[in-house]
Amino acid sequence: MLLPLFPLSTVLFPGCTLDLQIFEPRYLDMISRCLKAGEGFGVVRLLRGREVGEAATTFAGIGCEALIRDWHQQPNGLLGIRVQGGRRFIVRSSSAQPDQLLIGEVDWLAEPANPPLTDEHADLLALFEALAEHPLVAALEMGGAASGMRDLADRLAYLLPFALEQKLALLEADDPQQRLAMIQVYLERLQDEGA
């Protein structure tokens, strides 16, 4: 499937919310086409280069569909959009259009099951609930309680201050139990660094 790509210095996860300011003509046109067609675009992690200007050539081979949930003209005149992460995908190939918009040939990844949380996940669930009370996180309106292991893993991976390489590794991992175990390891590393 062909999908417009938006390389950013962030990693979007399914079910998570991202606010963007759109000002480049290529992305304004892309958003207009997406809104008219009722379709999303792909967010991929920029590995080298800049978010603005010429089309990025070095970005992660995995990304997340961005579904437009809201849009408005901001006081500074820019277009503000709120997107929600949809399906994960693998980029098979990409090319830049004359306006420098990247178009990717992508394959959608099958989403794993969302097994119920167990007592083993109580600490991670408590951490997410504490994060969800922060005003900046609450403003993202990511939909209340985590409904299972996959959902909790996506939200924690998105919200916690992990290195972008770690976030990409979490986006690539299919098994929710494995992802939660990876998050626990990354958290322990963060604590060790802060000690």
In this structure, the answer to whether residues 89 and 173 fall within a common structural domain is no
Mean pLDDT score of the chain, rounded to an integer? 91
Give me the half-sphere count of Cα atoms (radius 13 Å) on the Cβ side of residue 15: 21
pLDDT at 193: 82
Q: What is the mean pLDDT of residues 22-32?
A: 92
Query: Rounded to whole angstroms, how far apart are CA atoms 90 and 60?
Result: 9
In this structure, the answer to whether residues 89 and 10 fall within a common structural domain is yes
Residues near 3 by beta carbon (within 8 Å), at least 6 away in sequence: 40, 41, 42, 65, 89, 103, 104, 106
**Domain membership flag for residue 190:** yes
Evaluate whether 94 touches 104 at the Cβ level (below 8 Å). Answer: yes
Q: Which one of 74, 108, 142 terminates a domain? A: 108
Q: Which one of 84, 108, 132 terminates a domain? A: 108
Evaluate whether 158 touches 13 at the Cβ level (below 8 Å). Answer: yes
Residues near 159 by beta carbon (within 8 Å), at least 6 away in sequence: 16, 128, 131, 137
Summarised one tens digit per residue, pLDDT across range 77-92 is 889 999 999 999 999 9
In this structure, the answer to whether residues 175 and 81 fall within a common structural domain is no
In this structure, the answer to whether residues 100 and 160 fall within a common structural domain is no
Query: Does 55 have pLDDT greater than 80?
Result: no
In this structure, the answer to whether residues 179 and 131 fall within a common structural domain is yes
48 pLDDT band, cuts 50/70/90, is: confident
- For the whole model, what pTM was predicted? 0.91
**Domain membership flag for residue 113:** no
Query: Does 195 have pLDDT greater than 60?
Result: no
Summarised one tens digit per residue, pLDDT across range 182-194 is 999 999 999 888 7
Query: Rounded to whole angstroms, how far apart are CA atoms 105 and 25?
Result: 22
Domain span at residue 100 reads 2-108
**Domain membership flag for residue 20:** yes
Angle formed at CA 130 by CA 127 and CA 131, multiple of 5 degrees: 85
Summarised one tens digit per residue, pLDDT across range 101-138 is 999 999 999 988 999 999 999 999 999 999 988 888 88
In this structure, the answer to whether residues 99 and 139 fall within a common structural domain is no
In this structure, the answer to whether residues 97 and 136 fall within a common structural domain is no
pLDDT at 26: 92
Summarised one tens digit per residue, pLDDT across range 3-22 is 999 999 999 999 999 999 99
**Domain membership flag for residue 104:** yes
**Domain membership flag for residue 185:** yes
